[in-house]
């Protein structure tokens, strides 16, 4: 089972920046980020599929940058031009491959890191 640990959350003024990190215990077929704001469902933020292009939710595209250090199995989320709407608990996710179906599905989750953006 893949172990995930997020870090880098905190409080920042609107328009500021934060960088989140996620350390994984081993290689995964894909990694990504989800977030959950108070009273809302968990939503997709960004992901990096193996041999695929980086994907972003429309709400963060142009402001967030997802990257990965493959040698360290570490995922990063650079968040710029932060808005109050970005306030949420951010979760790192890792995929599990089904070789028969040739799919990779998010199956492992970190405990989350709080991001708070104030006006």
User: Among residues 57, 5, 12, 15, which one has the least CA distance to residue 35?
Assistant: 57
- Cα separation, 42 vs 91, whole angstroms: 9
What is the residue-level pLDDT of the chain in tens, covering all 119 positions? 899 999 999 999 999 999 999 999 998 889 999 999 999 999 999 998 766 689 999 999 999 999 988 788 899 999 999 999 999 999 999 999 999 999 999 999 999 999 999 99
User: Which pLDDT score, from 0 to 100, does residue 66 have?
Assistant: 94
């Amino acid at each position: 089972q893949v172990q995930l640990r997020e870090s880098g959350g905190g409080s920042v003024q609107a328009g500021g920046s934060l960088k989140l990190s996620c350390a994984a215990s081993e290689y995964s077929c894909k990694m990504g980020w989800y977030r959950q704001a108070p009273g809302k469902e968990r939503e997709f933020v960004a992901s990096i599929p193996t041999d695929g292009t980086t994907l972003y939710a429309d709400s963060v595209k142009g402001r967030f940058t997802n990257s990965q250090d493959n040698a360290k199995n570490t995922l990063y989320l650079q968040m710029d031009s932060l808005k109050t709407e970005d306030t949420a608990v951010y979760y790192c996710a890792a995929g599990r491959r089904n070789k028969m179906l040739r799919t990779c599905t998010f199956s492992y989750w970190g405990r989350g890191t709080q991001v708070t953006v104030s006006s």
